[in-house]
């Protein structure tokens, strides 16, 4: 009886719940938030105080991106693992969207600044010496998931007391740029004769004539570095090595890494091997 006498008009409920009358009617029509009472003659909707809790959950779920159908399912799952799992998945989606949005902002800034010399990227033609490396090859969801491979390799090296003798890096195996399921080999230079247990392997990489874009700062600039390399290849009519061997794949070298310096102090070399006989300007 107390709840019946405490029923609120849709206007009062809207004010307290911060959901518009239009949205309350929408949620009613979809069975997500049905009024406690509907007058049969006037059609007036009335809501119980306890429904303010449901309204708060609905508003929050809506604001983090769930549609009305998903909201109805999630309300029924409150307090269960399904509720937690759904929120975790949505958080991962929003983080990916945030990263993509930041990338677009960076690109817009670069386009606005186009024409100004980018002092954070320099381009040279350099001979990269041959080296022996310990490498681990694997497929990761995207390029930004490369740390997954390092998390696998570093404990193996530590357990075998293997110490690198130069900058670490990554080799890109895919013949084309791909947004998903990226085939990479991470590597660390080691003394010749080093042995390592599987799945890691020892590779002997040859000396290579490369176009090298040195990026100072955020990894977000790597795509721009590739653009600069592409422009140089086009303007000088250079030929990229393409015999399919691992030694001739494009690769990055990390002269500094996030575990040792801040983002502004990162130095990365993006290296594209050139075919033998490519003319020098």
pLDDT tens per residue, range 41-90: 888 999 999 999 999 999 999 999 999 999 999 999 999 999 999 999 99
What domains can be seen in the chain, in order of their start residue?
2-76 (1.10.1660.10), 121-273 (3.20.80.10)
Separation of alpha carbons 224 and 106, rounded Å: 11
Residue among 144, 138, 266, 127 at smallest CA distance from 205: 127
Q: Answer for the pair 21, 43: CB distance below 8 angstroms, yes or no.
A: no
Residue segments in the chain with a per-residue pLDDT below the cut of 70: 1-5, 110, 113-119, 277-281
- 3-state secondary structure (DSSP) of residue 263: helix
Strand order in the sheet with 131-140: 121-128, 208-216, 267-273, 251-254, 168-172, 182-189, 131-140, 201-205
Alpha helices in 77-145 (DSSP H): 81-112
- 3-state secondary structure (DSSP) of residue 176: coil
Say what the pLDDT of residue 2 is.
47
Say what the pLDDT of residue 60 is.
94
Separation of alpha carbons 202 and 137, rounded Å: 11
251 phi and psi angles, rounded to 5 deg? -150, 160
Say what the pLDDT of residue 101 is.
87
Say what the pLDDT of residue 177 is.
84
Q: Residue 256 to residues 166, 218, 260, 263, 266: CA-CA distances in angstroms?
A: 11, 11, 7, 10, 5
Say what the pLDDT of residue 99 is.
84
Say what the pLDDT of residue 115 is.
53
Separation of alpha carbons 173 and 179, rounded Å: 13
Describe the chain by its helix, strand, coil percentages, rounded to 5.
40, 25, 35
């Amino acid at each position: 009886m107390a709840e019946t006498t405490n029923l609120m008009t849709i206007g009062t409920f809207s004010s307290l719940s911060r959901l518009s009358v239009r949205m309350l009617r929408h949620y009613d029509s979809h069975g997500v938030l049905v009024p406690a009472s509907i007058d049969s003659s006037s059609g007036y909707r009335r809501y119980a105080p306890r429904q303010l809790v449901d309204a708060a959950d609905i508003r929050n779920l809506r604001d983090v991106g769930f549609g009305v159908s998903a909201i109805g399912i999630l309300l029924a799952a409150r307090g269960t693992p399904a509720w937690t799992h759904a929120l975790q998945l949505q958080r991962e989606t929003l983080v990916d969207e945030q990263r993509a949005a930041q990338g677009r902002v960076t690109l817009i800034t670069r386009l606005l600044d186009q024409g100004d010399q980018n002092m954070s990227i320099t381009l040279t033609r350099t001979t990269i010496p041959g080296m022996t490396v310990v490498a681990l090859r694997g497929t990761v969801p995207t390029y930004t998931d490369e740390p997954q491979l390092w998390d696998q390799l570093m404990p193996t090296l530590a357990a075998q007391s293997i110490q690198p003798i130069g900058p670490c890096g990554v080799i890109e195996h895919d013949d084309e740029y791909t947004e998903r399921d990226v085939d990479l080999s991470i590597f660390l230079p080691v003394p010749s004769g080093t042995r390592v247990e599987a799945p890691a392997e020892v590779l002997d990489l040859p000396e290579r004539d490369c176009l090298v874009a040195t990026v100072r700062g955020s990894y977000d600039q790597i795509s721009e570095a590739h653009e600069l390399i592409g422009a140089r290849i086009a303007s000088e009519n250079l030929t990229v090595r393409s015999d399919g061997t691992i030694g001739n794949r494009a690769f990055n070298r990390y002269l500094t890494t996030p575990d040792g310096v801040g983002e502004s102090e990162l130095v990365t070399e993006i290296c594209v091997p050139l075919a033998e006989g490519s003319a020098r300007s």
